[in-house]
Structure 1
């Protein structure tokens, strides 16, 4: 199964960002991510054998227990190579980066190779097949400052890729586990 570790924003934060995204220019070959799947990826594990999941879960539980709660919020936006539009993250980003490193380490210790990129916290909003001029989108996102929230859980999420072949179909995300951070109620 395709898995990743993530922080899932609360519903009110998703709605707040959604109100801004609804006003962004659409079309032009952009594939928008669905609000139900908005998340901050910490570690992408890829295809993980079913037999490995219990050990990964145990190691993620330990990573969560070693990480205290922290406050972040969504702010501004940017893009990666003209292909991915995203909302940025502000607040205790050093704590978020530590949690991401612990989630990557949990995967490595469970025998999962995963991806090895420098961690850059973001929430993906849209993808483009070809390089895209996100200028108007970035202008609109530039002034966005979302309500901060306390991150209190590390989630393990399954990514179910589209199988129907229907254009515009999106991946579906399913939370398969969650562990409270230290100090979370």
Structure 2
């Protein structure tokens, strides 16, 4: 099973950020697939830890360990704020904890440690909580690679179909409504089973935060 843990923003928060994205989304030009693949609002979440492929028989142990994590971490008052780009291809909205700057980072580290002996992935040093909202399409990846090759040859280039840094800059002042995160979700990702060939997410367990 391909598993991860996350915090799920409530519908009002997701709707608020959707309106902000509508205001900066590039207008499609010409035929063919759009340059950006927007993550469906129902799949937007704050990833706490990604475990990769986990054996079916290890699920109960992982749920037990994450239950313990929930009991030792209080609910978090969070806000979506700012934006950025990963690897020239992923647009994200930032997440911040309002009462304790380090609380969210500690929760992420604890969720990663809960899979010790279960996940075959090396724990990642994650300290930038975020919600992924869009990814560059495969077509746009190819066009960008071609642009870089032509740039090295000194050729004159037309503007790219989508400018992710410009979108992130436009969203850098974004501030969403506050919400209280009170539970962790353990989610299975079914690759290719969702809309348009994307992943389909299935919540396997919901674990409360705090005693």
Please report the TM-score for the alignment, with normalisation by the length of structure 1.
Answer: 0.89
Q: Is the 8 A contact 1:75 1:144 kept in 2?
A: yes
* RMSD across aligned positions (CA): 1.9
Q: Structure 1: give runs of 5+ residues left out of the alignment.
A: none
Structure 1 equivalent of residue 77 of structure 2: 71
C-alpha distance in 2 between matches for 1:38 and 1:115: 24
**Structure with a larger share of its residues in strand:** 1
Structure 2 equivalent of residue 80 of structure 1: 86
In the TM superposition, residue 93 of structure 1 has moved relative to its aligned partner by 4.1
Structure 1 equivalent of residue 199 of structure 2: 171
C-alpha distance in 1 between matches for 2:187 and 2:59: 11
Structure 2 equivalent of residue 18 of structure 1: 18
In the TM superposition, residue 111 of structure 1 has moved relative to its aligned partner by 2.4
In the TM superposition, residue 114 of structure 1 has moved relative to its aligned partner by 2.8
Structure 2 equivalent of residue 95 of structure 1: 103
Q: Is the 8 A contact 2:193 2:200 kept in 1?
A: no
Structure 1 equivalent of residue 130 of structure 2: 122
| Partner SS for 1:142 | coil
Please report the TM-score for the alignment, with normalisation by the length of structure 2.
Answer: 0.79
User: Which of 100, 107, 112 is residue 104 of structure 1 equivalent to?
Assistant: 112
Structure 1 equivalent of residue 151 of structure 2: none
Q: Structure 2: give runs of 5+ residues left out of the alignment.
A: 29-33, 145-161
Q: Is 1:140–2:148 an aligned residue pair? A: no
User: Which of 189, 194, 204 is residue 159 of structure 1 equivalent to?
Assistant: 189
Q: Is the 8 A contact 1:104 1:114 kept in 2?
A: no
Q: Is the 8 A contact 2:49 2:111 kept in 1?
A: yes
